[in-house]
Amino acid sequence: MVDFGDVLEAYRVLKPVVKRTPLQRSKTFSEMAGCHAYLKLESLQNTGSFKLRGAYNKIYHLSEEEKKRGVICASAGNHAQGVAHAATLLGVDSTVYMPLFAPPTKINATRSYGAQVVLEGATYDQAYRAARRRAEEEGLAFVHAFNDQQVVAGQGTIGMEIFEELPEAEVVLVPVGGGGLISGIALALKHLSPEVQVIGVEAEGAQSMVRSLEKGEIVPQESISTIADGIAVKHPGELTFSLVKRYVDRVVTVTDEEIARTLYLLLQRAKLVVEPAGAVGLAALLCGRLSFPRRRVVSVISGGNINLSLLSQVIERGMMQHHLLARVAIVAPDRPDVLDDIISILAGLRANVLSISHDRLTTSVPIGQVKITITFQTLDEKQIDAIREELEERGLEFDMLR
């Protein structure tokens, strides 16, 4: 079992290596949530997530013989980069097994930190089993992503930093996947400030910790589905599950839609690029899953390594929800002047056209007509309503897409 002494030792080890990430109060999110909302920005940590803390602490405490042989791990993202960077800093060879379909950006980033990357298996579980086999065959030290004493202690240093900068914190919200992050933070905070509430947040499509806590034992999930790939874990570890039961007050879930909405708000209002897993704590606060009126609440923003294609989708969806982007599909006679009429309507109402597509081939469009889909920027919902009214007055058949 990990104890507070392990966290203190990890704090000593990590102090000259990791960034002391900012703890910032957000006026915007405080007003939205009706509390004093603070963000612990581990998304600004070296390698873009908290994972470096646990990985470095684990490798640092290996024996000299183990360091000479090298370390190995399995990961599809942040843990891979944390292990690779930590090993390089300590002069240790590292091998990272990643699934074949891991995002190329994460594969390249892991290699850039100095690891040998082996692509094997269609899923993380298959890559994990392959890495375990090689660790046993070659006597390599395996660095687990969460179910490890030194890894948990390393993540616990975040709790110490929160207490040192905001000792009056009343609630701390922490993303939950395998449980390593929340185990370390809760252990540290409950020792330093026993009255603080530590609450975990999982994605609704990957709620292995919630299900396990409900049953009182680890319950593996047969399938998981969420955009929050950083916490898409089928089951917690035995170590982390025991720590969560002992130190964590409760665990709640949020939907992918709530996560995406929060990612957009972080980008638009706080100018922060955050990955889905990193935003779940704040999502629970902003979307009403949790409420702490006038209390001091810290959301741990655990990482910022978001897939750029997903980020583009989040931005577009967010703009549409906030009436800054609209898309209209119009079925009209296939004549040259029709498009000119439609564009003049949009221009007259000061809508900025981003893209236009024509579809004459689909069977849902009558012969002699065309389906024109236009995406355009708007100022607000009133402007969209004005465009709708103008199209109706012109007698055009249209559908405002959402």
Q: What is the pLDDT of residue 288?
A: 95
Q: What is the pLDDT of residue 364?
A: 79
Mean pLDDT in residue range 159-169: 98
3-state secondary structure the chain: CCCHHHHHHHHHHHCCCCCCCCEEECHHHHHHHCCEEEEEEHHHCHHHECHHHHHHHHHHCCCHHHHHHCEEEECCCHHHHHHHHHHHHCCCCEEEEECCCCCHHHHHHHHHCCCEEEECCCCHHHHHHHHHHHHHHHCCEECCCCCCHHHHHHHHHHHHHHHHHCCCCCEEEEECCCCHHHHHHHHHHHHHCCCCEEEEEEEHHHCHHHHHHHHCCCCCCCCCCCCCHHHCCCCCCHHHHHHHHHHCCEEEEECHHHHHHHHHHHHHHHCCCCCHHHHHHHHHHHCCCCCCCCCEEEEEECECCCCHHHHHHHHHHHHHHCCCEEEEEEEEECCHHHHHHHHHHHHHCCCEEEEEEEECCCCCCCCCEEEEEEEEECCCHHHHHHHHHHHHHCCCEEEEEC
Residue 263 has pLDDT above 90, yes or no: yes
Fold adopted by 52-142: Rossmann fold (3.40.50)
pLDDT band with cut points at 50, 70 and 90 for residue 338: confident
Domain with CATH 3.30.70.260 in the chain: 323-401
Q: What is the pLDDT of residue 241?
A: 98
Q: What is the pLDDT of residue 397?
A: 86
Catalytic residue list? 51, 302
Fold adopted by 4-50+148-316: Rossmann fold (3.40.50)
Residue 215 has pLDDT above 80, yes or no: yes
Q: What is the pLDDT of residue 133?
A: 97
Predicted confidence (pLDDT) per residue in 344-373, tens digit = 999 999 999 999 998 888 777 888 899 999
Residue 105 has pLDDT above 90, yes or no: no
Q: What is the pLDDT of residue 157?
A: 98
Q: What is the pLDDT of residue 360?
A: 83
Q: What is the pLDDT of residue 102?
A: 82
Q: What is the pLDDT of residue 64?
A: 97
Mean pLDDT in residue range 289-308: 96
Predicted confidence (pLDDT) per residue in 18-69, tens digit = 999 999 999 999 999 999 999 999 999 999 999 999 999 999 999 999 999 9
Domain with CATH 3.40.50.1100 in the chain: 4-50+148-316, 52-142
Mean pLDDT in residue range 269-295: 97
Query: Could you tell me the two tokens for 194?
Result: 């026993």
Q: What is the pLDDT of residue 104?
A: 84
- Its CATH architecture, for the domain 323-401, is 2-Layer Sandwich (3.30)
Q: What is the pLDDT of residue 395?
A: 86
Predicted confidence (pLDDT) per residue in 119-146, tens digit = 998 888 899 999 999 999 999 999 999 9
> What is the pTM for the complete model shown?
0.92
